[in-house]
A and B are shown apart, each in its own frame.
Chain A
Amino acid sequence: DGGITQSPKYLFRKEGQNVTLSCEQNLNHDAMYWYRQDPGQGLRLIYYSQIVNDFQKGDIAEGYSVSREKKESFPLTVTSAQKNPTAFYLCASMGWNTEAFFGQGTRLTVV
């Protein structure tokens, strides 16, 4: 089954802790994206990558980091520098001339 998988579905972070959200796709897509979703707001772009070993900041990159060592994988680390990390995080991938496919999301809560 082709698709994009995010894990975990729910994640709890203590103050001052870094956490990493996983995103894997087997669609052979070159481009991958991370979005943050807050209640009553649209999706906001955190980081994106159009090719392996290259990524760019989106609109709200502060407090986040990413890597793109493999085409299939684009993990997002929420660092302790992110002051308000509680949100729903969505990963997406896109191929040449395809729509954007989204994962099922990870809900991150600070405890």
Chain B
Amino acid sequence: GENVEQHPSTLSVQEGDSAVIKCTYSDSASNYFPWYKQELGKGPQLIIDIRSNVGEKKDQRIAVTLNKTAKHFSLHITETQPEDSAVYFCAASISRYGQNFVFGPGTRLSVLP
């Protein structure tokens, strides 16, 4: 079955710097890769997703890149702000439906003022 690894487990950056979180997956059949942000004591929220027919997707300060050959995808946050501090989860799936999601272990991002 699918296995998703995520690095780093913790990441501290200065406000205004960029942050990059990387995930690798094992199942070449996976074709949908969402990223979720979870604030303390709350449920995860989708921040961006990408499908396997696209190499990069951007939404304001957030971007995701996908390398299907290498089976890895990354989240890039530019001009980080304190409110970006949270736990970020990547996931891989062979479809859009939740029963197929395999989540990474999460990255705790701290943005220092």
Contact = CB atoms under 8 A, between A and B. Distances in A.
Interface of A: 4, 6, 31, 33, 40-45, 48, 50, 56, 58, 90, 92, 94, 97, 99-100, 102-105
Q: How large is the interface on B (under 10, 10 to 19, 20 to 34, 35 or more residues)?
A: 20 to 34
Instruction: Tell me the interface secondary structure of chain B in the complex.
Output: mixed
Given A48-B98, A56-B99, A42 B44 contact: no
B98 A100 contact: yes
A41 B9 CA distance: 10
Contact of A31 (B43, B49, B98): B98
Contacts of A99: 34, 46, 49
Contacts of B46: 99-100
Instruction: Tell me the interface secondary structure of chain A in the complex.
Output: strand
B4 interface: yes
A45 B101 contact: yes
B61 interface: no
Contacts, number: 61
Contact of A105 (B41, B45, B102, B103): B41
A45 B98 contact: yes
Contact of A48 (B6, B42, B99): B99
Given A42-B4, A42-B89, A102 B43 contact: yes
B94 to A, nearest CB: 14
Contact of A94 (B42, B89, B97, B103): B97
Nearest to B99: A48
Contact of B41 (A97, A102, A104): A104
B3 to A, nearest CB: 11
Given A100-B101, A105-B43, 14 more contacts: A33-B98, A33-B99, A42-B6, A42-B89, A42-B91, A42-B105, A43-B44, A48-B99, A50-B97, A90-B44, A92-B98, A97-B96, A102-B45, A104-B41
23 contacts: A31-B98, A33-B98, A33-B99, A40-B9, A41-B106, A42-B4, A42-B102, A43-B44, A43-B101, A48-B99, A50-B97, A56-B99, A58-B99, A92-B98, A97-B96, A99-B46, A100-B34, A100-B46, A100-B98, A102-B43, A104-B41, A104-B43, A105-B42
